[in-house]
Amino acid sequence: MQRLPETIFEAKKLADPRAVLRLVPYGESVDALPPDAGAFVGRGTSPTGMVAKPLLLVAVSVGLVWLVTVNAWDDEGFFPWFWNPIWVLFPWVFLGPLWVGFFRSLARKPAADAFRGNYDTWRRSAVVGVGTVTDTRVSRTDSGSTADFVATISTPDGDLVVGRIPRGTIFAPHEAPQPGDAVNLWRLPQEWTLVQAQRHPVRASSSAGAESPTIATQLKQLSDLHRSGALTKDEFEQAKQRLLA
């Protein structure tokens, strides 16, 4: 079993770039792949968007550099010598990750476009397999939802590390797969691996002798997730009906 590094940043370095983990919505089966490739790689960027995004990024970069560096530049020598270097570097603390993310998305675009073009054919001929989650790492946003998630999955072909989740996916940490959970996976051409896992609406405590949460407590947790945006209205209603049933 491959153990993940303690930090999410280091764990993501081990992830297979073409392995995607999708948490299926409540009420949907994990045994079948969705008909839309966008469920895994997004809908793609239109030609207009491909032109607009870098132009917007350039405009934001120029504006921030002018606002911070140019306005704060000391021509008079009033401040210490390190003042100007600090204000040259300061805007790139924020701009650097934006540019890195843009170039990464640009590098992934050809593979994602090929995936979208072939997905329907691949999906019809793919055979489902089963894996088991053996280790996970998670980081949270300020609101408490999941920012990044990495998991090691034991499969008949060896361990698989997956750290890519579909863009726009929002889920709470307790909904994510945990060690010991079974997941379904499909090996597709061009080294793609698709993993689907069931969301966990509420997890009981694993402590010895701990009691399961009451229905009222679970309903409150679902309501809190709905208000925070972690659950859509439809997902909330489906989870509530399953809980009450």
Per-residue pLDDT tens digits for 150-205: 999 999 889 999 999 998 788 888 889 999 999 999 999 999 999 999 988 755 44
By mean pLDDT, which of 15-24, 42-51, 58-67, 207-216 is the weakest? 207-216
The answer to whether 138 and 8 have CB atoms below 8 angstroms apart is yes
Mean pLDDT of 111-119: 92
The answer to whether 1 and 134 have CB atoms below 8 angstroms apart is yes
Q: What is the pLDDT of residue 210?
A: 41
The answer to whether 143 and 195 have CB atoms below 8 angstroms apart is no
Band of pLDDT at residue 231, cut at 50, 70 and 90: low
22: buried, middle or exposed (CB in 10 Å: 19+, 13-18, 0-12)? buried
CB count in 10 Å sphere of residue 63:
11
What strand order describes the sheet that includes 128-140? 19-24, 192-198, 182-188, 128-140, 146-155, 158-162
Q: What is the C-alpha separation between 165 and 23, in angstroms, rounded?
A: 8
Q: What is the C-alpha separation between 136 and 148, in angstroms, rounded?
A: 11
Q: Where are the domains of the chain?
A: 1-32+130-200, 47-120, 213-245
Q: What is the C-alpha separation between 66 and 69, in angstroms, rounded?
A: 6
Distances (CA, A) of 244 to 219, 222, 225, 237, 241: 9, 12, 17, 11, 5
Q: What is the pLDDT of residue 201?
A: 74
Query: Among candidates 106, 103, 112, which has minimal Cα distance to 192?
Result: 112
| Chain centre to alpha carbon of residue 224 | 21
Instruction: Give the global pTM.
Output: 0.70
Which secondary structure element, helix H or strand E, spans residue 195, and what is its range? strand 192-198
Average of per-residue pLDDT values in the chain = 85
